[in-house]
């Protein structure tokens, strides 16, 4: 190799690499611009949407819950006035909440909602767990068929499924007719417009929400664990309580919350099946707003309901983060 060729080669390579570098830099600049804009936009669009239609409405509810009820349209003291005279209105601020506390209708309703959704959740678990277990153990096509059968009601109208029970539980309904025909009773039993009807409605509507997470949890369970436990001499029932159940707690929590949270705020079921006899917070809120037109109290009920639901959510978050840590 001779010197001149060497340097010529180096020069041409330098030239080429300079050209490539500038090209690369250009690509890089364009790409950088594009990447930052594109990512930014794809975050910004849903972000802005949620801020406008989720976050701001929430703050409006919060504000109104601190406002004064008026007989006007809209039926609450203006949001934009009371900031001028904060001192005077400070005394009003907790009026709506104090009202909720003093009127024992609201306290009773809250407690009743929690009671009804807790019992319903437990009922769902008692029926849903063995069902999920049976589905997991079914073989091949049967398993898919059973799963589809659990999912199918979810895609049909919720309202119509609740309506179906109106026909069954009515005084002249299917169940009473059947019981009279069977000679078990002489007189129709009153089942509609009672807590019993509400329990039936909630369990019926939310049972699939309990089965699906339990199924997912059980499906992932290692069956050799059962074999190992049996091999070590455990009775099937012992195996269930010492191995299966502890390992499906995440599924139980997930399913439980999927039932408990919507059941607590439920409106349709207590309204159609419970009538005026069953106090549940979702229905009271709806009535407060649409019939009584007391918006500030309705808003206060909403905020209180949210706080009620935040507690189970926090439990869930806690459980999940613990699971991740493990």
Segments in 138-235 forming alpha helices (H): 140-155, 158-169, 174-181, 195-220, 223-231
Stretch that binds other proteins, among 84-92, 102-110, 136-144, 241-249 (CB under 8 A): 136-144
- The tokens for 175 are 């169940």
Closest approach, Cβ 248 to other proteins, in A, equals: 15
Site for other proteins contains 70 (CB under 8 A): no
Segment lying near other proteins (by CB under 8 A), choices 59-67, 86-94, 97-105, 179-187: 59-67
When binding is defined by CB under 8 A, the residue of 5, 91, 172, 325 that contacts other proteins is: 172
Q: Please report, as residue ranges, which positions from 174 to 193 form the binding site for other proteins (by CB under 8 A).
A: 174, 177
Pick the closest to residue 101 from 307, 277, 268, 283 (CA basis).
307
Q: How is residue 264 written in tokens? A: 């607590």
Binding segment toward other proteins, per CB under 8 A, in 92-100, 102-110, 144-152, 241-249 = 144-152
Task: List the interface residues with other proteins, window 217-256 (CB under 8 A).
Answer: none
To which residue do tokens 């609740």 refer? 162
Nearest distance from residue 144's CB to other proteins, in Å?
6
Among 68, 94, 173, 250, contact with other proteins (rule: CB under 8 A) = 173
Q: Which of 265, 278, 297, 300 touches other proteins by CB under 8 A?
A: 265
CB within 8 Å of 67: residues ≥ 6 apart: 76, 77, 79, 82, 92, 96, 295, 296, 299
Minimum CB distance to other proteins smaller for 95 or for 272: 272
Beta bridge mates, 210: none
If the CB atoms of residues 91 and 139 are measured against other proteins, the closer one turns out to be 139
Regarding 66 and contact with other proteins (CB under 8 A), the answer is: no
Tokens at residue 233, please?
Answer: 């001499």
Map the footprint of other proteins across residues 29-58, applying CB under 8 A: 31, 34-35, 38-40, 42-43, 45-47, 49-58
Q: Is residue 142 close enough to count as binding other proteins by CB under 8 A?
A: no
Tell me the C-alpha distance between 226 and 232, whole Å.
Answer: 10
Please name which of 205, 240, 216 lies closest in space to residue 124, comparing C-alpha atoms.
205
Q: Which of 92, 122, 168, 179 binds other proteins (CB under 8 A)?
A: 168
Q: Is 212 in the site for other proteins (CB under 8 A)?
A: no
CB nearer to other proteins: give 87 or 113. 113
Return all residues near 90 (Cβ < 8 A) that are at least 6 apart: none
CA diameter of the chain:
117
Closer by beta carbon to other proteins, 144 or else 241: 144
From CA 250, how far away is CA 135, in angstroms rounded?
A: 18
At its nearest, how many Å lie between other proteins and the CB of residue 297?
Answer: 12
Site membership for other proteins, residue 276 (CB under 8 A): no
Considering only residues 290 through 319, tell me which ones interact with other proteins, judged by CB under 8 A: 290, 295, 298-299, 302, 305-306, 309, 313
Q: Smallest Cα–Cα separation from 256: which of 209, 189, 324?
A: 209
Secondary structure of residue 69 in the 3-state scheme: strand
| Out of 93, 119, 153, 179, the residue judged to bind other proteins by CB under 8 A | 153
Q: Is 120 in the site for other proteins (CB under 8 A)?
A: no
Secondary element (H or E) of residue 100 = helix 95-102
Nearest to 112 by CA among 306, 294, 284, 286: 284
């Amino acid at each position: 190799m001779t010197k001149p060729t060497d340097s010529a080669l180096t020069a041409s390579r330098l030239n080429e690499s300079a050209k490539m570098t500038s090209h690369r830099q250009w690509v890089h600049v364009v790409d950088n611009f594009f990447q930052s804009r594109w990512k930014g936009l794809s975050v910004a669009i849903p972000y802005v949407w949620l801020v406008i239609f989720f976050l701001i409405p929430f703050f409006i509810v919060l504000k109104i819950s601190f406002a004064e009820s008026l007989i006007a349209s809209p039926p609450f003291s203006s949001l934009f006035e009371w900031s001028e005279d904060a001192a005077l209105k400070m005394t009003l601020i907790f009026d709506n909440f104090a009202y909720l506390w003093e009127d024992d209708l609201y306290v009773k309703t809250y407690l009743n909602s929690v009671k009804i959704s807790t019992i319903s959740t437990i009922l769902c678990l008692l029926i849903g767990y063995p069902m999920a277990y049976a589905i997991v153990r079914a073989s091949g096509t049967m398993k898919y068929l059973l799963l589809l059968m659990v999912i199918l009601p979810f895609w049909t109208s919720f309202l119509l499924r609740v309506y179906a029970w109106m026909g069954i539980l009515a005084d002249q309904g299917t169940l009473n007719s059947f019981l009279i025909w069977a000679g078990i009773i002489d007189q129709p039993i009153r089942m509609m417009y009672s807590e019993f009807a509400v329990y039936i409605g909630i369990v019926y509507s939310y049972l699939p929400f309990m089965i699906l997470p339990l199924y997912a949890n059980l499906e992932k369970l290692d069956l050799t664990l059962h074999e190992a436990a049996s091999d070590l001499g455990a009775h099937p029932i012992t195996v269930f309580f010492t191995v299966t159940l502890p390992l499906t707690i995440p599924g139980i929590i997930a399913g439980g919350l999927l039932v408990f949270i919507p059941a607590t705020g439920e409106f349709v079921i207590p309204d159609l099946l419970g009538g005026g006899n069953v106090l549940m917070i979702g229905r009271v809120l709806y009535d407060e707003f649409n019939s009584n037109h007391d918006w500030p109290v309705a808003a206060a009920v909403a905020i209180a309901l949210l706080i009620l639901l935040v507690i189970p959510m926090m439990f869930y978050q806690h459980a999940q983060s613990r699971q991740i840590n493990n």
